[in-house]
Chains A and B, each alone.
Chain A
Amino acid sequence: MASSSPFLNPSARSRPGDLAIVLLARDSYQPITLEQSTGAVDGYVEGKVLNTRFGSFPHSTFLDVPWGSQIRASHVDTGSRGRKRKLEASGEDTSTPGADDEAKDSEAGSQLTRKAASAPSGFVHILKPSPELWTSALPHRTQVVYTPDYSYILSRIRARPGTRIIEAGAGSGSFTHASVRAVYNGLPQKPEDKKGKVFSFEFNEDRYHKMQDEIVEHKLADMVHLTHRDVYGEGFLVEGKSPEATAIFLDLPAPWKALKHISRRRPQTDGETPKPDDGNWISPLDPKKSVHICTFSPCIEQVMRTVTELRRLGWVDVDMVEVAHKRINVLREKVGLNLPNKKGCNLTPANVTESIDRLKEINEKTKDFNNAQKEKDGDAMAVDPKDSGKANRQGNGKEEEDEKPWAQGRVVHRPEGELKTHTSYLVFAVLPREWSEEDEAAASARWPCGKETKTIGSVDKAARKQAKREMHQMYEMEKGRKRQKRSAGEKQAIGEDTQTST
């Protein structure tokens, strides 16, 4: 069975109930859940309407179109809503007219949603949701784990189809959505099926409820198990059972406080002597696999304490990185004296020649002016009128006007004006599976040593020389044998030749 989540199994065209991301302008996203209105909504005769600064868009114009479609704005009466609502309050609608159902529309009359009439200007694009788009569009509840961070984290903690991953806390849900996509490998057919799943924990009750609603609305409830819990105290078991996780992501203020639960054996509390492991304690980890962890902390002090605790608990490959991400703007740099005097054009010389030409021109003018001053003594006010404002007029040169503005100048790139210079420090570590004496004994019984024939990997000098010598000898022998054979063959051939010629 396939999941019907628009994140994992999108339909080819938009459907009612789908989450859609409306792209208003560059980096301006609006998430909406598409609704098939059966009557006027909020006084809009077109049904549910999305109002933006680029126009009004009834949901009916978003439905049953291919994703990525450009959608024209519609003529929507936004002014007289209050009055209309009163008028239509009595109407109960049953039929479901779509965007193309014009015939039905006219049949049912004014009680049904009216087909939207497109406006002369304004448009948006409708996109199918993805974790990247959702991250840009989601309502912020806490600090968001952005795409450069989560993509790297998921790769480092080896979250792949089939992985069972623990996430605490859920926060705004951007990491949750990204990790569902990473671990999804189908829905379980039977209860004992172990498929990829996200086990998410959130302490804040308000955020927990919002998150739970979101998961249901995005049809991810089969792949995400959200628990409202304080993981520092209560750990990571889900309904008393182990999630059998192999990947862990902790976005907590004090990750070191939760680490004691992410253990293969009962954690030893302070002052207590280590007891022989009793059967009651259940580890949230997969006992047969290595476990990868990532903690996400903005402050270096948090990192220090987490790292110390990880090292103390025997995690290996402890590594800390910080992801620096830059978005780059591409623009056209337009510099030159002969450019039109417009926005985006820098009216300074493009090169030394232009500058010199300009200086020469000024010199010329000064000379003319001085001459004029001199002549002024004799002649009466004879200033040459043709020169005044010549440079300015040149600035609006005719041939430049014809050129397309998008093809002018030189393509340059630079980082965006505002950079996210720090999100958080990422601490990674690995906990290998346990390997007992018995396991080792069983393995060495199956794979006894002492019968090694060849050597792989780097060989020391003497051995390499020896191998080379042997190979050389072999080659020589082979060659010798071939030579013998060949000469024998040649002899035969010659023999044949002579035979035929005779």
Chain B
Amino acid sequence: MTTLLYIASMSRDLVQPNAWVAIKLPNDMLRVLQVVPNTTISLGKYGSFPSNLIIERPYNLTYEVQDQEEGETYSRLRIVPGVELNADALADTSADKDAIETSEETAETNDDDDVIVPADGEDFTLVDDSGKVIARSSREVLDDSARQTLTSAEIEELKKKGTSAGQDLIAKLLLSHTAIDQKTQFSLAKYKLLKTKKYIRRFTVLPLDVPLLAHWMLEDKDASKILEMRQESMALLGCWADTHFASQPEEGAEGPHAGQWLVVDDTGGLLTASLAERMGILHQTPEEQEQPETSVADAGSSGQPDGQPTQKPKRRRLNDLEVPYAPNNTLTVLHHNTQPNLFMLRYFDFDNTEINPTPPYHPLYSNLLSLSWLQLVSPELDQTYSDPPAEVDPETVASWKTNQRGNYHRKRRRWARTKHIIDTTRAGGFAGLAVASTMEPISILRHTLPLLAGGAPVAIYSQTVEPLAALADAFSITRRAAWVSSPPAETEGKTVAEIERWEGNDEFPINPTLLLGASIQTSRARRWQVLPQRTHPLMTERGGAEGYIFTAWRAIPVEGKIEARGRFRKRKAGA
């Protein structure tokens, strides 16, 4: 089953069997589902169709669920070409030509209906036929009694026997509206759009990636689970944390390598996924697929019959103490429970709770490390870390029962991995820190700032501005100046490293010289409706958390006293 899942994400050009996809419905809702072969995908009132009809088809295509043909038990799909999808929006441009100055570009689209009407003639031409006449009656007031003459029972009936993917029904609805000839062209278009969204049996298949998943969580699922983080905040966070693909360190290079990022994630793994996507370790690509396969093939040459990909032998690690982790291009997740909550990674076919996955390995298997705050701050209190399993000679192990032997190896492997993660994390040298958490940011920074390399960026997301304001205040210019001119008594006689890890007091909650350029920002994308003569921002959008981002860089202060020059001195003297 797992191998099937991995193959599912092999190619991102076509929908693969068992791939997670998002299906966009006419009412702009998203359905996130796994395309299991030989099943029926039901979209409720928008119809149902066999999953095999979208497998190995391209993404971003819009389909129309067609009426069942005689003798068939399922509906076939028709690809709706882009020009046909845009017909309504384009129809308006040609109708409005009197009002809009004719340009060389619009001159191409002439007034003839054949430009607007799609080739197969299925779409009705009501808007276009009456376009000009109605436009003249634009000042008429709609009759109060104007209404839809079709009863709901009749509409239900039409829906049942309705043909041509609901377009019939929409046309009938429009024609049966008593005031249809009094509607302005624009209100008619709006009415049609409204009815189309409700009744047309169309859908679009989209590849499930982080922005789409976030949008789905935010709009259709539980926004609080991802701290109401919008795409613009997520994108800003990733940029300010300077996360990107990091190439492998040079052969034989020692010490902490560049390209390791530290993450504090309370968004169920969404932040981790978005950073991983930026680093190229979220989606499994075909090239990465080949690697483990060749190694398996090598092992298979020694008497293994080829074929049967599901029964491939697991690649044996020779030594229990060998860890599977990459030296860089990694994310280290700090979590507050014993296990990290990264459930969102499931949609990318990675399960962090799986202890012994089978090849081909997901890139996150080797590039995602996680440890708890306790393991970071007081590793000696962690049982796994502080209690290395005793080494037993191979003969004794061989004499054990399978169960006991398995336990022994599992324990040793777990200890080796835990030790590796804790030791490398505590060694520091991280290239950046990204945080989206409900925890107090000052407390997070107190423990993570010493782990960052000099000049490494810090980016913290918060739903509300207050925690970030408190944080920025802890690094205010006056406080920094005060620290430099008269450092707190507790820090006297301490080494630079000790002062970096100083736990803070009431006056200085954190060493204020460790960060540079602390600032807060917020960003919001405002959506617009773009239609000729009806272009304006959307009337309503999601409220809730605005989303604020704190950014700064890790500084390495000089040893000893230092005095500012220029404007600073004046201000300090004045303060």
By a beta-carbon cutoff of 8 Å, the part of chain A in contact with chain B is 1-3, 8-12, 23, 25-27, 53-55, 65-73, 120-123, 125-128, 130-132, 147-148, 150-152, 154-156, 158, 160-162, 178, 181-182, 184-187, 196, 256, 270, 288-290, 300, 303-305, 307-309, 311-328, 330, 332, 342-343, 404-407, 411-413, 425-427, 430-433, 435, 440, 443-444, 446-460, 463
Contacts and interface: CB of A to CB of B under 8 A. Distances in A.
Given A130-B242, A182-B244, A23 B522 contact: no
A330 to B, nearest CB: 4
A95 to B, nearest CB: 28
A12 B258 contact: yes
Interface centre among B89, B240, B523, B569 (most CB of A within 10 A): B523
23 contacts: A2-B250, A54-B566, A68-B553, A128-B455, A152-B235, A152-B236, A162-B280, A304-B532, A304-B535, A305-B103, A312-B86, A316-B60, A316-B85, A343-B574, A404-B482, A406-B479, A430-B60, A440-B79, A443-B57, A454-B36, A455-B40, A456-B41, A458-B44
Contacts of A407: 507
A446 B38 CA distance: 12
Interface string B209-249: 10100000000000000000001101110111010111111
B453 A12 contact: yes
A68 B554 contact: yes
B234 A155 contact: yes
Nearest to A327: B521
Contacts of B300: none
Contacts of B34: 456
A181 B33 CA distance: 32
A274 B575 CA distance: 76
Given A435-B61, A449-B74, A186 B235 contact: no
A196 B457 CA distance: 24
B527 interface: yes
Interface residues of B, number: 124
A131 B431 CA distance: 15
Interface in B280-313: 280, 285
B440 interface: no
Given A289-B13, A450-B72, 8 more contacts: A66-B556, A67-B456, A121-B569, A150-B239, A162-B285, A305-B103, A324-B524, A457-B48
B476 interface: yes
B530 interface: yes
Given A70-B555, A120-B563, A456 B521 contact: no
A178 B239 contact: yes
A121 B564 contact: yes
Dominant secondary structure at the B interface: mixed
Interface in B112-131: none
A11 B513 CA distance: 23
A328 B555 contact: no
B516 interface: yes
B51 A452 contact: yes
Contacts of B389: none
Contacts of A319: 527
A456 B232 contact: no
Given A324-B524, A411-B470, A456-B33, A161 B530 contact: no
Contacts of B568: 25
A155 B235 contact: yes
Contact of B51 (A185, A304, A456): A456
A194 to B, nearest CB: 10
B554 A328 contact: no
B50 interface: yes
B60 A320 contact: no
Nearest to A26: B517
A314 B285 contact: no
Contacts of B427: none
A318 B556 contact: no
B364 interface: no
B48 A151 contact: no
Contacts of B56: 443, 446-447
A261 B141 CA distance: 47
Contacts of B204: 316-317
Contact of B526 (A186, A303, A324, A451): A324
Contacts of B50: 449-450, 452
B43 A152 contact: no
Nearest to B567: A25
Interface in B51-78: 51-53, 55-62, 72-74
B82 interface: yes
A446 B523 CA distance: 47
Interface centre among B239, B277, B470, B568 (most CB of A within 10 A): B239
Contacts of B535: 300, 303-304
Given A23-B516, A311-B89, A447-B52, A147 B239 contact: yes
Contacts of B136: none
Contact of B525 (A323, A342, A456, A459): A323
B69 to A, nearest CB: 12
B557 A122 contact: no
A435 B453 CA distance: 49
A160 B285 CA distance: 12
Nearest to A326: B522
A53 B245 CA distance: 37
B528 A425 contact: yes
A321 B526 contact: yes
B565 interface: yes
B75 to A, nearest CB: 10
Contacts of A450: 50, 72-74
B528 A184 contact: no
Contact of A2 (B33, B248, B280, B468): B248
B557 A70 contact: yes
B218 to A, nearest CB: 14
Closest 9 CB pairs of A and B: A67-B455, A161-B280, A314-B82, A68-B455, A68-B454, A122-B565, A66-B454, A311-B86, A155-B235
B189 interface: no
